[in-house]
Each structure stands twice: as structure tokens, then as C-alpha cells.
Amino acid sequence: MATVQPQESHTSILAGVGARAREAATALRVATTEQKNAALNAAADAVAAHKDEILAANARDVEAAKANGVSGAMLDRLKIDGARFEGVVQAIRDVAALPDPVGEAIESWERPNGLNISRVRTPIGVIAMIYESRPNVTTDAASICVKSGNAVILRGGSEAFETSSALHRCFVEGLAKAGLPADAVQFVQTTDRAAVGEILAGLDGAVDLIIPRGGKTLVARVQREARAPVLGHLEGVCHVYVDGGAEIEKAVKIVVNAKMRRTGVCGSAETVLIDRKVLGSHWPAISKALRAAGCEIRADAEIRKIDADAKPASEEDFYTEYLDAIIAAAAVDGVKGAAMHIAKYGTGHTDAIVTEGEAAARYFLDNVDSAIVMLNASTQFADGGEFGLGAEIGIATGRLHARGPVGVRELTTYKNVVRGTGQTRP
């Protein structure tokens, strides 16, 4: 995307934050792998060392949330108990153990005039992370950004403010131990909502990329108002299409896992599509298994003709990301019908086909233009860890730069390095 010259405004409540991030990014861009790993491991040590302090901060957040009548699910996301605490520490060490993408030559070629051209991975620069209640996002995002050589500005949810502040202090300690600038990881020290507006405005051109992580309302606002590029996803209305060429057992296993393994993740299936050619042969087993797993089925008229227990699906159901034990179901006219349904109702996140048919598989994988398309696999594999990226900062459903899981490598860009021996252009 095009760059804008930073011109730090001094009236802003985040005055200086962008400029300091930009300066830290310059140092981090050329930091060695050893330095970055040392900072991450020192940060992990600091988190472990300050356990009591962090748990106390978390307790204060939880108390305040309860006092504000926060719901159970949100309270749960907010809470850091013993096991989760160890997970936070380990996640930082895991990112330190990942290969460093910076400096890697993506490709390299020689020109007839002897010029050697290579595209070398370099950090993006300054990343702004806007997220909600999970405090572990603070350490996950900080780790992934530091590893990829990016400075990060963290704007966490007010519910987790105390916990995130305590975790951020540990990161600053780690950066200092490794001789890296503390401003490489900044945490917005205010719950003032105006701060989000300033970040979305790009902090006078200092922000290269904004990553929202949270509910639909937050992401929608970021996508609507951001004046800098945004990497993220709004919704995951993921589909599993059971083709005429599908093996029943595989179809049952995949549909049930895609929907029910965890219903609250963005890669969980929200709609099952079935080729009307196998509606009679395959649907009874699929619906039986879904119901046995505790899933409610909302189906179109054609399916309900053979499945009296299915509730009727409204047009709205096919647009809905339930994130719950509910699945919409529709009969379609083969793989083309499935692709048309997904093009109309899908969100470009993850969509899968179950089939043994070569032609149907190729058609689906070619024509369904989602960030992730799958053949004979559960949509719940839509995850950076499952992809082998090591850690992910989120899933991107946009068209540019990166699609699907975003890990340390996806947080880099490249520069063109041209090596000559005195060549001039005729």
C-alpha cells in the first residue's frame, strides 16, 4: 500500500506513540535473531517471575468485570488461572523457537546483463493491534510482532486492562535485557475510547498495518474507519459441502467435527450443503450424527421433506455465524450449486468439500475463492498452529498481502535487492 509521511500531531492523546513506534521499528528491523529470541525468552522469564503480581492484576480485572455484570463467557475469556498462566509463558517461548523470517530470500534470479535480483523478507514496520478481553492476546501479539521484527502498539480491551498492563511490563523488561528499545512493544495506557479512533486514523501515518481481534462490532468498526491497511476477518460463515462423490463415513466424521469440535471458533462450520443426488443416501447418517452430538439442524424445504425433525431455515440462517451448536443445511445441485451458494452466503474464510471425485474436487478448489479451501478435511483445521505456522495473530479474509492464517512470516514484506558489478542502463 502507499505510505504517508508521519507528521506527529501534538494535540492527540496518543501524541508521540506513533513516532516512538516508528523509531523502535527501525532498530527492530535490523535486530539479530539472537537479540529477538533473547528478548522473548527474557519476557517469558519475567512473566513467570511476576506470576503473583499478574494473577493479582487479573483478579482485580475479574472483580471489576463481575461488578459490571459481565457475562460468563466473557468472564471466562478474561480469567487467567494456573494452567492458562503456564500456557501464556510457554506460548512466548514457542514463538522464540520459531525460525526468523527476516532476511530470508523468497526468490532470486539473474538477468542477462548480470544483475542479480532477490526478494528478501523484511518486517512490515509498525503494527497496531486492537483487541478485546483475552489478556493472552497481549503476549501472543507482542511475541509474534517482535519475532517478525515489527514494532507493535497494543490496544487491549478495558476489561483486561490491569492484566495486560502487568504482562506488558514483563515484555518491556525482556526487551531491555536484550538491548532492544522498550517502545518496540507499547501498550496504550488508557481505556479512553478516543485512543482507538486515533489508532484507526493511523497515528499520522506511523501505523503500517492494523490488526483487529475480537467481536464483530469491533472488527466492523476497524474495517469501516481504518485509514491504514487492515488484516483480519469479520466473520467465518464456513461451509462443508457433501458432494455426490462423498464417502458417507468421511462425510459424517468431517461434518460433525467441523461443526461440533468447538462451536465458538471462527473455523467452525455454520452451514452444511448436500448434493441432492445423495440427499436420500447420505443425509440420514449425517443428521443422526449431528443430533447425537447435540447439534440443532435448520434445513431448507427439500431436506425437511426427508427429515421431519429439522427446523425450517430462514434466508437469514444461511448468513449467520452461529458460533453455537446449530447448523444450517441446504440441498444444492452438485458442486456448481455449492459454489454458487458459498459465493452468495459465504464470508471468504474457510470452505470444504467432501468427495472422492477428482473433477468435483478440482472445480470446488478452483472456483470457491475463500482464504482457505479444503478437500476431505474439517474446517476446524483453519488455524495457524494446524498449518504449521507455529503461532498465529489471526486469520485474514481480505484479498491482499496475506490470506488465511497470519503468523510471523505473514507479518513480513519484502524488498528488492539488486546486486550489480557496475551495470548502467542503455
Q: Which helix (H) or strand (E) holds 303?
A: helix 301-306
Residue 185's φ and ψ, nearest 5 degrees, are -130, 100
Binding to its own copies in span 79-118, by CB under 8 A:
103, 109, 111, 115, 117
Q: How many CB atoms lie within 10 A of CB 357?
A: 16
Cβ atoms of 222 and 207 closer than 8 Å: no
Among 51, 250, 277, 291, binds its own copies (CB under 8 A): 250
Cα dist. 191→238, 245, 333, 348 in Å?
34, 54, 51, 33
Task: Pick the stretch among 35-43, 138-146, 190-198, 414-422 that binds its own copies (CB under 8 A).
Answer: 414-422
Interaction between residue 270 and its own copies (CB under 8 A): no
- Give first-to-last CA distance, the chain, whole Å: 31
Q: Which helix (H) or strand (E) holds 117?
A: strand 116-123
Q: String of b and e for 281-293 (b: at least 16 CB within 10 Å)?
A: ebbeebbebbeee
Size of site (CB under 8 A) for its own copies? 78
Among 160, 170, 230, 269, binds its own copies (CB under 8 A): 230
Residue tagged 519475532 (cell numbers):
147
Among 49, 301, 359, 417, binds its own copies (CB under 8 A): 417
If we measure between CA atoms, which residue out of 167, 189, 184 comes closest to residue 46? Answer: 167
String marking each residue 350-369 x if it binds its own copies according to CB under 8 A: ---------------xxx-x
By C-beta, is 174 or 348 nearer to its own copies?
348
Least separation in angstroms between CB 291 and its own copies: 18
Task: Pick the stretch among 41-49, 88-96, 271-279, 409-417 that binds its own copies (CB under 8 A).
Answer: 409-417
By C-beta, is 76 or 366 nearer to its own copies?
366
Binding to its own copies in span 121-140, by CB under 8 A:
122, 124-125
Q: In sequence order, what are the residues at sequence separation of 6 or more whose Cβ sits closer than 8 angstroms to the Cβ of residue 283? A: 274, 303, 306, 307
| Spatial separation of the C-alpha atoms in residues 170 and 164, rounded to whole Å | 10
Interaction between residue 344 and its own copies (CB under 8 A): no
Interaction between residue 335 and its own copies (CB under 8 A): no
- Which cell numbers in the block locate residue 212? 483487529
Interaction between residue 413 and its own copies (CB under 8 A): yes
Binding to its own copies in span 3-22, by CB under 8 A:
3-4
Among 132, 208, 275, 300, binds its own copies (CB under 8 A): 208
Among 37, 133, 257, 287, binds its own copies (CB under 8 A): 257
Interaction between residue 404 and its own copies (CB under 8 A): yes
Among 175, 234, 299, 328, binds its own copies (CB under 8 A): 234
Among 18, 174, 202, 232, binds its own copies (CB under 8 A): 232
Helix (H, G, I), strand (E, B) or coil at 183: helix
Interaction between residue 261 and its own copies (CB under 8 A): yes
If we measure between CA atoms, which residue out of 53, 59, 49, 50 comes closest to residue 80? Answer: 59
Among 269, 273, 377, 393, binds its own copies (CB under 8 A): 377
Least separation in angstroms between CB 300 and its own copies: 22
Residue tagged 470446488 (cell numbers):
364
